[in-house]
């Protein structure tokens, strides 16, 4: 099994790429689970699931060998506590108490830690079986993603021994293992996203020894032939492609082999399909 995290600055096409990548893996015969973090679903507008089809904790069949699921914090947490206590009715009573509800809301990084625990559970033999070849996580945007990655580190510093410390340690070991986990950072070939992507990747390398793949999204192809200076669109488009080249050159020493074209469509499903075709032999 391979666990894949997809992150990126807000508005760069992170969810679209995660969907295209998951579909690409499924089209190659792999059994794939595409996950998003709750409570609001963005994936329901993709894969023609239907206008009234809500994505929740129950896995939904999508095209090929692909399934889609939304992880809600409390449902994931109840699942894991039930795994240890074995009595589901007792767990539900425990979580429905006002005191426990307040504790859950104020506990630092608990939400992030629960999601990481679920994502890495297959490697750690905890909870329900994760019978997939690939689990693709449409994760938080870059700033929140760092909080996600730091959550087991913070808990280990707060809790120096015991079961919680051990759980966080094993989660971190999985996250740092390149044979088990892969990371994609989606970025536009524009000045601000490129700068933020560089800073984010440097932090991942420094704090976790992780070298993610950078996905340059919505990259426009250069116009063939000479640009008609009398045409405002051609002038603007040509200037944009020149600027994109300059921005991409700023991260030439990073892993930027994945370049996704600008897709001139509005429909999310069609965009995902075209991106999937472009992925080729990835």
Model pLDDT, residue 104: 61
Instruction: Delimit the domains of the chain by residue range.
Output: 2-222+255-279
Please list the ranges in the chain whose pLDDT falls under 70.
48-52, 84-108, 280-282
If DSSP states are collapsed to H, E and C, what string results for 164-216? HHHHHHHHHHHHCCCCCEEEEEEEECCHHHHHHHHHHHHHHHHHHCCCCEEEE
**For 2-222+255-279, CATH number?**
3.40.50.300
* Predicted TM-score (pTM) above 0.85: yes
Model pLDDT, residue 2: 94
Distance CA 22, CA 68 (A): 10
Model pLDDT, residue 99: 55
Model pLDDT, residue 48: 66
Q: What is the pLDDT of residues 206-248, one digit of tens each?
A: 999 999 999 999 998 877 777 777 788 788 888 888 889 999 9
The tokens describing 61, both together, are: 């069949």
Cis amide prior to 102 (ω within 30 degrees): no
Helix axes 14-27, 268-279, angle to 10 degrees: 60
Q: Please list, in sequence order, all residues whose beta carbon lies within 8 angstroms of the beta carbon of residue 57, skipping any fewer than 6 positions away.
A: 69, 70, 71, 72, 75, 76
Q: Please list, in sequence order, all residues whose beta carbon lies within 8 angstroms of the beta carbon of residue 179, skipping any fewer than 6 positions away.
A: none
């Amino acid at each position: 099994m391979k666990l894949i995290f997809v992150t990126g600055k807000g508005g760069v096409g992170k969810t679209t790429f995660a969907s295209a990548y998951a579909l690409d893996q499924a089209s190659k015969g792999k059994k794939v689970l595409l996950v998003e973090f709750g409570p609001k679903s963005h994936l329901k507008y993709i894969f023609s699931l239907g206008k009234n089809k809500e994505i929740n904790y129950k896995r939904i069949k999508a095209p090929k060998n692909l399934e889609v699921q939304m992880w809600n914090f409390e449902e994931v947490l109840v699942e894991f506590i039930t795994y240890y206590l074995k009595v589901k009715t007792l767990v539900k009573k425990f979580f429905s108490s006002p005191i426990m509800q307040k504790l859950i809301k104020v506990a630092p990084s608990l939400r992030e830690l629960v999601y990481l625990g679920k994502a890495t559970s297959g490697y750690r033999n905890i909870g329900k079986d994760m019978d997939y070849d690939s689990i693709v996580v449409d994760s938080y945007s870059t700033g929140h993603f760092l909080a996600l990655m730091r959550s087991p580190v913070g808990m280990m510093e707060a809790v120096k021994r015991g079961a919680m410390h051990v759980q966080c340690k094993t989660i971190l070991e999985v996250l740092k293992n390149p044979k088990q986990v892969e990371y994609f950072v989606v970025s536009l070939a524009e000045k601000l996203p490129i700068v933020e992507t560089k800073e984010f990747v440097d932090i991942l390398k420094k704090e976790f020894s992780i070298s993610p793949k950078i996905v340059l999204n919505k990259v426009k192809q250069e116009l063939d032939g000479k640009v008609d200076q009398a045409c405002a669109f051609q002038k603007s488009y040509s200037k944009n492609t020149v600027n994109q080249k300059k921005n991409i050159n700023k991260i030439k020493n990073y892993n930027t082999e994945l370049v996704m074209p600008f897709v001139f469509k509005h429909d999310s499903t069609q965009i995902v399909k075209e991106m999937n075709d472009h992925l080729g032999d990835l």
